[in-house]
Amino acid sequence: MGRTPRRDPTGHPGRGEDARSAIPEVRVESLRQRFARFRHTHKPRTRYPQALRMAVLEALRSGVAELELRRACGLSADQLAAWRRRAEEEAQQRAMVRQPARVFSVVDEIHPDVSDERALHPAGQPVELRIGGWSVCIQRLEE
């Protein structure tokens, strides 16, 4: 049997561990009610909304027992496992999103032996970028 929190004469949970255990109970009851409302207003096998799935995962992260949550919300272990996998995949995708490229402005001096037209369109001359011990050369193949 589950342990019932000790209450003081005013009816509030006691101090210490019993008071902390009341928070997950409230969270589980809130989620149970949300799932009941959802099931009442939607057809069977309707996909749960993202907000409801994330609320379940957040409750698990905050320390609510998985079995207690599954029983209260009517969820299967497979559903929770799938939701966890999906959340992990989304977190990895967000982490892998590339940062915007940094653009460096480079202005070369025009050499006196290069005509103005060729300076504007240096098609035949390679462009070299040096970064640390690396060098990248780019040269136009066709004119």
Give mean pLDDT, residues 4-29.
58
Identity of residue 98: R
The two tokens of residue 122 are 């240096």
Model-wide pTM > 0.75: no
Q: Looking up tokens 């136009």, which residue turns up?
A: 140
Tens of pLDDT, residues 24-62: 788 899 999 999 999 999 999 899 999 999 999 999 999
**Token output for 8:** 């003081």
47-102 pLDDT, tens digit each: 999 999 999 999 999 999 999 999 999 999 999 999 999 999 988 888 777 667 77
Please tell me the distance from the alpha carbon of residue 112 to that of residue 122, in angstroms, as a whole number: 14
